[in-house]
Structure 1
Amino acid sequence: MHLITLIPGDGIGPEITKAVTDIFAAAQVPVQWEEQNAGQTTFDQSGELIPQTLLDSLEKTRVALKGPITTPVGKGFRSINITLRQKYDLYQNVRPAKTTEGIQSRYTGIDLVLFRENTEGLYSGLEVFDERLGISDSIARITVEGARKICRAAFAYASKHGRKKVTLAHKANILKMAGTIMINACKEASNEFPHIVFEDKIIDNMCMQLVNKPEQFDVVVTTNLFGDILSDLCAGLVGGLGVVSGANIGDDMAIFEAVHGSAPDIAGQGKANPTALLRSALMMLHHIGEHKQADRLEKALELTLQDKDKCTGDLGGKASTTEFAQAIIDNLDK
């Protein structure tokens, strides 16, 4: 039995979280949830965005499943997601993007995984504002060690999962020092994994290539801001944020999450699509070694996605969150 921290989040978070836990229970997945929360709801109740009880749970379980979380805007609070990533050095943001039968997309044949450096770059929080001059400076901190870690992680993943190519997206023609650090780090990793093809592309060309011919890419690695943008672009290629998974992984902790927003406008209405959180939970199962259970649930999800009568509204159906989850349960082992 695996003990997992469960963070339902805000807005539609509790609804999609319940859908996932109901599916896991029906499938008898060997996990035990330890529920803790963070975000706007927790702040309203206790005055804390990230309670110590949540941190204690994470440090005990080392694995979490997290729903969408709202950080209050305009009150000086730092992003909860960034705080957790930096506190626990969750330096890999891993975002698969794959076309799936039953999910509408303009493309076919996409099966790529993006590795975004998750703790440095322009998200380091190094900002200075000179009020007298009206100048804001934001520092994109790139370290040699951080670059080595994310590039090696991308190559190691490619090797482990039978992927053939790693593409680095960078801007070394303008950001010469930062770009060079990333290129050199990838070249080092490439030497360690010589059976993996390595290529690099300038970020603006990379965006065009992703739209023109996304099926050419396999594993993509990049810095924090570029990865933030590219990961949503890739999600758009395969159906949107509501159908893709996400993970924040370090050397000894991993938090798997739905990467879409908390959608407070539809909270409590039974309209929410739990696919993104479920797929993130399946990534989690692979991470903890429950591969057969993950594959079993993925098959049930894919069967359900092909039956529009059983899908939620954003997927072209009329089913509620609960009805969609029940359809996945009904499709287990078919």
Structure 2
Amino acid sequence: MYRLCVIPGDGIGREVVPVAVRALQRLLPGLQTIQLEAGWDCFTRHGTSVPQATLEQLREHGAGLFGAVSSPSGAVPGYRSAILTLRQQLDLYLNLRPVRSLPGVSTRDDVDLLLLRENTECLYVGRERMLGDDVTIAERQISRRASERLAACAVALAPQRQPRRITLVHKANVLPLTCGLFRDSCRSVLEAAGLSALVDERLVDVAALQLVQEPQNFDMLLTTNLFGDILSDLASHWGGGLGLAPSLNLGDGIALAEPVHGSAPDIAGTGRANPAAALLSAALLLRHHWHLPEQAALLESAVDAALALLAGQSTGTRTTALVEQRVLEHLQRLA
């Protein structure tokens, strides 16, 4: 029996998440779902962006689908980002960000990379302080344990992906203690697993340039939380942009699928949100948490077919409902 916590969140999350849930129900008859709250709207109602009940249910059920979160542009007393809270409270220490060429939306057809982002540390620990009136300080945390866990995930994924190359991305020339520890810890785990021939390194600025110039040369990338956030967003251009980018937050026995796009308040309620990122995030949940690669491939194929079919239509006609219709039709034929 498969169980899923459904957290629509804010804005278009409430429109795209139900589409992904219906696709999962087509692939997993009998899927049990429970609706939960998190996000900015939740904070305005309850004074917390992630209620304790949401954390408890996710721990119990083990799988979740989170839609989108709105965040204020400045500090709000008592508020902390819902997705950061979920990642840290549930120890979702790995963030998977695949980028591949998608039919009808990608500008090239040779990109297929997987970015593994450490998901709990770096500047995202949220330790900031004032030093007098004119200076602020943010602390960056990098630990051997978190770095080794990330590399161990790469080792676990290598047999199914068969990577041509595993690239460690850092800035150890400027940050020799934090980035140096990250690089050396990851490298030792990969080398101990017999993958040393595949391992190379890039400084983060060089990696950014090469992801623009020659993305086809990358396969698996391992990096820290902040660098992973930036590089995965940059690389998403080759998969149609942030609006189509999927991700999966993974911990021990627990996973939270999350389309990368935001809450998009400018189009919320118009029926124009593309649910492809939520659908592809659900496919990651199928493949990496429930270990159902055939069902994941079916869902990805259905999304690809729908995007290819809709590519020739004007943007105004590519509605949420139409994308869902095409995906479900293809799922029915493929099944």
Q: TM-score, normalised by structure 2?
A: 0.92
Structure 1 CA distance, aligned partners of 2:86 and 2:68? 14
Instruction: Determine if contact 1:310/1:324 at 8 Å carries over to the other structure.
Output: no
Residue in structure 2 matched with residue 289 of structure 1 by the alignment: 291
Matched residue SS, 2:9 = coil
Matched residue SS, 1:272 = coil
CA deviation string 1:272-331 (max 9, x = no partner)? 0000010000100112022222222222211111112797x6xx4613211210111112
Is 1:88 the counterpart of 2:87? The answer is no
Map 1:15-164 to 2 at 5 A. Answer: 15-74=15-74, 75-76=76-77, 77-105=79-107, 107-132=108-133, 134-164=134-164
**For residue 100 of structure 1, what is the amino acid of its counterpart?**
L
Instruction: Determine if contact 1:10/1:40 at 8 Å carries over to the other structure.
Output: yes
Is 1:12 the counterpart of 2:7? The answer is no
Deviation, 1:238, is 2.0
Structure 2 CA distance, aligned partners of 1:179 and 1:42? 36
Structure 1 CA distance, aligned partners of 2:58 and 2:26? 25
Residue in structure 1 matched with residue 259 of structure 2 by the alignment: 258
Structure 2 CA distance, aligned partners of 1:310 and 1:69? 31
Matched residue SS, 1:65 = strand
Instruction: Determine if contact 1:5/1:61 at 8 Å carries over to the other structure.
Output: yes
Seen in structure 2, the aligned counterparts of structure 1 residues 42 and 184 have a Cα distance that, compared at 3 Å, is same
Structure 2 CA distance, aligned partners of 1:230 and 1:177? 22
Instruction: Determine if contact 2:286/2:292 at 8 Å carries over to the other structure.
Output: yes
**For residue 39 of structure 1, what is the amino acid of its counterpart?**
G
Deviation, 1:182, is 1.7
Structure 1 CA distance, aligned partners of 2:174 and 2:29? 49
Deviation, 1:48, is 3.3
Seen in structure 2, the aligned counterparts of structure 1 residues 30 and 199 have a Cα distance that, compared at 3 Å, is farther
Instruction: Determine if contact 2:272/2:316 at 8 Å carries over to the other structure.
Output: no
Instruction: Determine if contact 1:167/1:221 at 8 Å carries over to the other structure.
Output: yes
Instruction: Determine if contact 1:158/1:166 at 8 Å carries over to the other structure.
Output: no
Structure 1 CA distance, aligned partners of 2:132 and 2:186? 40
Deviation, 1:270, is 0.5
Deviation, 1:169, is 0.7
The range that moved more, 294-303 or 91-100, is: 294-303
Instruction: Determine if contact 2:39/2:81 at 8 Å carries over to the other structure.
Output: no
Flag structure 1 segments of 5+ consecutive residues without an equivalent: none
**For residue 87 of structure 1, what is the amino acid of its counterpart?**
Q
Instruction: Determine if contact 2:49/2:80 at 8 Å carries over to the other structure.
Output: no
Is 1:165 the counterpart of 2:162? The answer is no
CA deviation string 1:83-118 (max 9, x = no partner)? 11111111111100000222232x331100001111
Instruction: Determine if contact 1:85/1:91 at 8 Å carries over to the other structure.
Output: yes
Residue in structure 1 matched with residue 249 of structure 2 by the alignment: 248
Seen in structure 2, the aligned counterparts of structure 1 residues 274 and 213 have a Cα distance that, compared at 3 Å, is same
CA deviation string 1:242-297 (max 9, x = no partner)? 21210111123211101111011111111000000100001001120222222222
Residue in structure 2 matched with residue 185 of structure 1 by the alignment: 185
Seen in structure 2, the aligned counterparts of structure 1 residues 102 and 206 have a Cα distance that, compared at 3 Å, is same
Deviation, 1:73, is 4.5
**For residue 229 of structure 1, what is the amino acid of its counterpart?**
I
**For residue 330 of structure 1, what is the amino acid of its counterpart?**
E
**For residue 303 of structure 1, what is the amino acid of its counterpart?**
A
State the identity %: 36
**For residue 37 of structure 2, what is the amino acid of its counterpart?**
N
Matched residue SS, 1:190 = helix
Deviation, 1:30, is 4.5
Deviation, 1:131, is 3.0
Matched residue SS, 2:124 = coil
The total of aligned residue pairs comes to 329
The range that moved more, 29-38 or 301-310, is: 301-310
Seen in structure 2, the aligned counterparts of structure 1 residues 181 and 309 have a Cα distance that, compared at 3 Å, is closer
Q: TM-score, normalised by structure 1?
A: 0.93
Structure 1 CA distance, aligned partners of 2:29 and 2:297? 12
Flag structure 2 segments of 5+ consecutive residues without an equivalent: none
